[in-house]
Each structure stands twice: as C-alpha cells, then as structure tokens.
Amino acid sequence: MYKSLLFAPIFFIVSQSSIAQKNDSTVVREIFDAALTKGEAYEDLRSLCKDVGARLSGSAEAQLAVEWSEKKFKEYGFENVFLQPVMVPHWERGTKEVAWFKTKQGDIVPLHILALGGSIGTEGLMRAEVVPFNSLEELKKADKASLIGKIAFINQAMNPADIVTFKAYGGCYAIRGEGAIEASKLGAIAVVIRSLALPQDDFPHTGSMHYEEQTPKIPAGALSTNSCNLLAEALTHGKVELILEMDCRSYPDIQSYNVIGEIVGSEKPNEIITIGGHLDSWDTGEGAHDDGAGVIHSMEALRLMKSLKIRPKHTIRVVFFMNEENGNKGGLGYAEWVKSKGEKHIAAVESDRGGFSPRGFDCDGTTEQLKMIQAYRELLLPYGLYHFEKGYGGVDIGPLKKQFEGIPLFGFVPDSQRYFDFHHAPSDVFENVNKRELELGAGSLAAFVYLLDRSL
C-alpha cells in the first residue's frame, strides 16, 4: 500500500506526459499532412507574385498588396483584421538604368546594373574613370585625391566557403549600405558595387543603401557578378571609363500599412504571439522568396491552425509588415503601437529567409527560452527540423525586443544555399520557389507556433 501510494503520482505524471506527447505528435502530423495535401500556400504565393507582383514600399503595387492581404485574411476567417497605418519612404527606380565600360582600345562593353534603393540618379549620362577596390576596407584606406571626379568600383565578393550563406552576406553587407558614403568622402562622383550574390551570372541584386548628412550624395548601383568579372578583367589591362545613367529618385514619404489578423486565444487572449514576414519587396522580380514566402508561411500557418480547429491558448497574430527592405517603418511602428496600446507580447516568430526546405529555428532569447524550443526537436525531426540554436529573430520583429523586456524572438531557418541566387534580383520569381519546400515551411511555422503556444 505504501509502495502504491509512493508510485501512483509518478505513474500519473509519466502517463499524462506521454499522452500529451502523443497528442502533440499527432497534431504536428496533422499540420504537415494538411500543409502538403490541402495547402493553399503555393497558390497564394502564385497570386501574390503574379496578380500583384513586386511591391516596393510607397508603390501602387505595395498598396495593392495591402488590399490583397486584407481580403485574404478576411476570406480565411481571421479575427480582428486590421490595417495599421505607417508612413514609409517612397523611392522610384525610374526608366533609365544602364551602364557600359569603354577600354583604352575603345571597346564598349554593356554591363548589367541595378540602382541601389534610395540612390539619387546620375542627372543624365555620367562618364568617368573607374577605380577598383577589392573591399570597402581597401577603399577606406585610399588617398583622398585618388577618387576625385572618378567612379569607385567595390568588387568585394561574398565568401563561398561560409556554409550558412547569410554569414557571407553579413561579411559584404557594408559595401552596399556604406559604399556611397565612403566613396563620396574621397571625392568619387558615383559608386558601383559587386552584387551581394553567390552565383556567377548576369542578375544584378539591388538593396538598400544610405547617405549621411555631412557627405555629398552620389549615385550608387550594383553590377551583376559576371559584369564585375568583365570589368575587373578589363581593369587589369589599363584605365577604363565607366558610362552610367540612372534616373531613380526619392519622393516624400507616403502612407502605407501593416496588415494584421488573429486567432484570439482561448485562455489568455490578451497575451500575444506575433508571427510574420514582410509584405514589401524590392521592385525587381516578384519578391517570391524575399519575402513572399515568409508572409505566405505566416498566413498559411494561421489558416492551417484554423482549418484543423486548433484553438490556441494565447492570441496568435499574423502581421504582414510593410517596409522591411528600406526603413523597417512597419516593424518599428508595430512595436511602438502595440506598446502604446498596453498590449502584452510574449513571443514573436519571423520568416524572412526564403521558401526553402526547413532546417529549424533560431532563438534570440535566454538559455531557458532556447531550451524550451529544443524540446520540440524530437517532434519536428521527422519533418527535417533539427536546428534549434541561439541566433537571430528577424528585422521586423526585432523592435519588439526594445518594447518588451525578455520577449523571446524566433527566426525560421530554411536551407540557405540558394537564397543569394535570388535575393533582391530579377530572378526572385514564383517559378524559383518549390511547392513542397514552401509547404513544409508553412507546416514548420504552424507546428512551431502550436508548440510555442502550449509551452508559454
């Protein structure tokens, strides 16, 4: 009798725990089954890419994307569908965007170029000697006089030996962001950079760049990797003249919106888990991987939970953030707005690394919070998710950290090998997203959020 009394509670605990485990395992299986056999992700991404297209902040297409998303949220029966106003930058690429180089021998070679987002135009045809640098560091060390009246060419390549390609991207990021400032400080009249891309091909990759008040603004463009190789080769034979025309320009900030929808929590409706990606994209291609996949992952995760009648304890809120690419006004505005409303935010999950085969989740949080999600590993391993490590949440959800002390942020981690083939390039189109990979990503997000809701 004594023994029985002693062991009964232990048996009860084990038994309960094993039932819960079995239930979680069954629910996760149902989520992936639904994502792969009755998923809407692929057709929704097709519609976002083909019916709306590229959707740079401030563009008509970005506004259409907001309306497209609001309609979808309502069709899928999300609760409290809402457009949260944010003011965003408005920059337009214009109609002219061309470059050639001319060698000492008089050969003229066309180059593949895209203006960097935010760049000023060239005000007509610009012709100047081009000065090459292998890195931003090398440029910074150049003599001031050496760039006066010239065009700087920063030919810094992403390191192909980095296994996680985002690391290689991080290693080059500054040439795009700071290249115009540093070149201008030395007197350059324009800067062209090597696209932040791993393949050797003809696609230039755009992206945001910055100016600073005290330094004259100069035009900035990205050349395709093939174009950079051609130009670099020509430069080994002598002086080269670069001929450049871009008529991009900035306009006053414009009204736009984050798009919001929810499943209201059954037990703690006032405690919110945000999941999302960014609705805006660069203006080339279709923003299919960046970040069409991420917003579709997030919307599909909520839709899957609804379709499987999973009622979370906490409120799960999907947010399609506006303007991640060139200002993060959506992410910043959201965090400030929810704080000002007195909301309680307990976690956030972002998908902004493309629609590739899932590998796991990064945790920007405490060791305890990491351990919490590492406990999901066994349940998610059958679906190819093994990576649960400290890492980065995402740009859009990042500002929540400042507003909510101790909030854990999680970033969805798909395979990164192909991301920089498409990132910010005309090749970031629907056709380059694989249906199963996209669906597995949506399933992963839904399963992760389901488990997170149960853990918190």
- Cβ count within 10 A of residue 253: 15
**Does the protein bind its own copies through residue 40 (CB under 8 A)?**
no
Q: Which residue from 312, 309, 332, 314 is spatially nearest to 322, judged by alpha carbons?
A: 332
- Cβ count within 10 A of residue 359: 18
**Does the protein bind its own copies through residue 171 (CB under 8 A)?**
no
Alpha-carbon span 127 to 244, nearest angstrom? 6
* Single residue of 357, 369, 427, 444 touching its own copies by CB under 8 A: 357
- Give me the least distance between CB of 359 and its own copies, in Å please: 7
Query: Binders of its own copies: how many residues, by CB under 8 A?
Result: 26
* Single residue of 170, 171, 199, 269 touching its own copies by CB under 8 A: 199
Amino acid at 149: G
**Quick one: 42 or 392, whose CB is closer to its own copies?**
42
**Quick one: 103 or 434, whose CB is closer to its own copies?**
434
- Give me the least distance between CB of 161 and its own copies, in Å please: 5
**Does the protein bind its own copies through residue 32 (CB under 8 A)?**
yes
**Does the protein bind its own copies through residue 33 (CB under 8 A)?**
yes
**Quick one: 30 or 262, whose CB is closer to its own copies?**
30
**Quick one: 393 or 441, whose CB is closer to its own copies?**
441
Side-chain half-sphere CA neighbours of 178 within 13 A? 13
Annotated catalytic residue, options 40, 324, 325, 439: 324
Please provide the size of the chain in residues. 456
**Quick one: 165 or 195, whose CB is closer to its own copies?**
165
- Give me the least distance between CB of 181 and its own copies, in Å please: 30
- Give me the least distance between CB of 308 and its own copies, in Å please: 14
**Quick one: 158 or 218, whose CB is closer to its own copies?**
158
- Give me the least distance between CB of 127 and its own copies, in Å please: 36
**Does the protein bind its own copies through residue 435 (CB under 8 A)?**
yes
Q: Which residue has the tokens 């899932």?
A: 358
Pick the stretch among 15-23, 31-39, 148-156, 346-354 that binds its own copies (CB under 8 A): 31-39
Find out whether the peptide bond into 201 is cis, omega within 30 degrees of 0.
no
Measured between its terminal Cα atoms, the distance across the chain in Å is 38
SS3 233: helix
* Single residue of 286, 325, 437, 453 touching its own copies by CB under 8 A: 437
In whole angstroms, what separates CA 402 from the centre of its chain?
A: 20
**Does the protein bind its own copies through residue 350 (CB under 8 A)?**
no
* Single residue of 122, 156, 165, 225 touching its own copies by CB under 8 A: 165
Contacts of 59 (CB under 8 A, 6+ apart): 90, 92, 283
Helix/strand number for the chain, H first, E second: 13, 16
Q: What are phi and psi of 87, to 5 degrees?
A: -90, 135
Side-chain half-sphere CA neighbours of 191 within 13 A? 34
Alpha-carbon span 192 to 436, nearest angstrom? 38
DSSP state of 211: -
Binding string to its own copies for residues 413 to 432, with x set by CB under 8 A, is what?
--x-xx--x-----------
**Does the protein bind its own copies through residue 352 (CB under 8 A)?**
no
Q: 364-383: which residues touch its own copies (CB under 8 A)? A: 382-383
SS3 92: strand
Element (H, E) at 129: strand 126-133
**Quick one: 257 or 356, whose CB is closer to its own copies?**
356
Is 431 part of the annotated catalytic residue set?
A: no
Binding string to its own copies for residues 144 to 163, with x set by CB under 8 A, is what?
----------------xx-x
Q: Are strands 190-194 and 220-223 parallel, antiparallel or unpaired?
A: parallel
Q: Which residue has the tokens 């991301």?
A: 419
DSSP state of 117: B
Active-site residues, by number, are 324
Binding site for its own copies (CB under 8 A): 32-33, 36-37, 160-161, 163, 165, 198-199, 357, 359, 382-384, 386-387, 415, 417-418, 421, 434-437, 440
